Amino acid sequence: MKKYAIFFLPVISASLFMMGCEEDIQNDNAQAQSDVTVVARTDEASEPESAATRSTEAAAEGTVITDAKISIKEFELEVLNLSAALNLLSELEIELKEPRVVTLVSEGQAQSEVIAEGKLQNGLYSEAEFSYHKNLSVETSDEMYGKSILVKGQHNGLPFVCWTDEEKDVEIDFEGEGIDVKEQGAIYVTFYVNKVMNEIDLSLAVDGNANGVIEIGPDGADGNAALYAAMQAGLTGMAKL
């Protein structure tokens, strides 16, 4: 019996020592956090006004984007360097009870808006995930009701409205090795509204119901089903970090 006691004592001591080390590491990691803000913007939204104006007017020749909005349901950042020993996963996840409308362009001016903020474990973050969500929580009179993405503007002086009600999960990777949140307090998600509009040849659009507005949306709105399909293709890769 004494042999066994002598044999197991170091093992138990070593186990307790390892547990203590792991707790210390966990406590250190819990303290090693940074305040992070995630900002949504359209392309060149952080540039001077003249550049921002050019970005909203550069979708295609003769086309001016005056307004653009998206509806999102959640946003999540995922860390790259997981600890093999402790299997730590650090996330900033914002799950909203109701879809949130984010304005990207308003009256021809590019906008920026905070979509998530909180504390994050320091480390390299590799990707972000979010969801476009069909918004049924706003008033039925709201222009975003029943839509996940809305773009408005003019083409050769004729107003147009493009929208989709598609709900889609999106994953976007950080460029290079990722983002070190210890060194960067703000993370920007850029939505390239122009990329979507560049997929649409508005010279082919028709005003099927003759109401003076070109409508491009689900169910063949205004007889522009082919242009709606082109717009859907442009949604892929619309957002970048």
Asked whether residue 90 falls in the same domain as residue 27, the answer is: no
Residue 54: phi and psi, rounded to 5, are: -60, -40
Q: How confident is the model at residue 66 (pLDDT cuts 50, 70, 90)?
A: very high
Q: What is the pLDDT of residue 99?
A: 79
Q: What is the pLDDT of residue 127?
A: 80
17-21, 105-109, 144-148, 209-213: segment of lowest average pLDDT: 17-21
Tell me the average pLDDT across 147-169. Answer: 93
Asked whether residue 115 falls in the same domain as residue 98, the answer is: yes
Q: Which residues contact 218 (CB under 8 A, 6 or more apart)?
A: 163, 164, 165, 228
Taking the model in full, what pTM does it have?
A: 0.74
Is the pLDDT at 54 greater than 60, yes or no? no
Average pLDDT, the chain: 75
Q: What is the pLDDT of residue 95?
A: 55
Asked whether residue 21 falls in the same domain as residue 53, the answer is: no
Q: How confident is the model at residue 56 (pLDDT cuts 50, 70, 90)?
A: very low
Virtual CA dihedral for 57, 59, 65, 67, nearest 10 degrees?
A: -120
Residue with more model confidence, 85 or 75 = 75
Asked whether residue 3 falls in the same domain as residue 97, the answer is: no
Q: What is the pLDDT of residue 10?
A: 42
Asked whether residue 11 falls in the same domain as residue 59, the answer is: no
180-184, 199-203, 219-223: segment of lowest average pLDDT: 180-184
Asked whether residue 5 falls in the same domain as residue 98, the answer is: no
Asked whether residue 189 falls in the same domain as residue 216, the answer is: yes
Is the pLDDT at 88 greater than 80, yes or no? no
Residue with more model confidence, 47 or 13 = 13
Asked whether residue 220 falls in the same domain as residue 182, the answer is: yes
Number of domains in the chain: 2
Q: What is the pLDDT of residue 152?
A: 95
Asked whether residue 167 falls in the same domain as residue 236, the answer is: yes
Asked whether residue 193 falls in the same domain as residue 75, the answer is: yes
Residue with more model confidence, 35 or 56 = 35
Asked whether residue 166 falls in the same domain as residue 111, the answer is: yes
Asked whether the beta carbons of 160 and 145 are under 8 A apart, the reply is no
Of 12-16, 41-45, 217-221, highest mean pLDDT: 217-221
Is the pLDDT at 78 greater than 60, yes or no? yes
Q: Which domain holds residue 109?
A: 34-240
Asked whether the beta carbons of 121 and 33 are under 8 A apart, the reply is yes
Asked whether residue 27 falls in the same domain as residue 73, the answer is: no
Sign (positive or negative) of CA dihedral 93, 95, 96, 100: positive
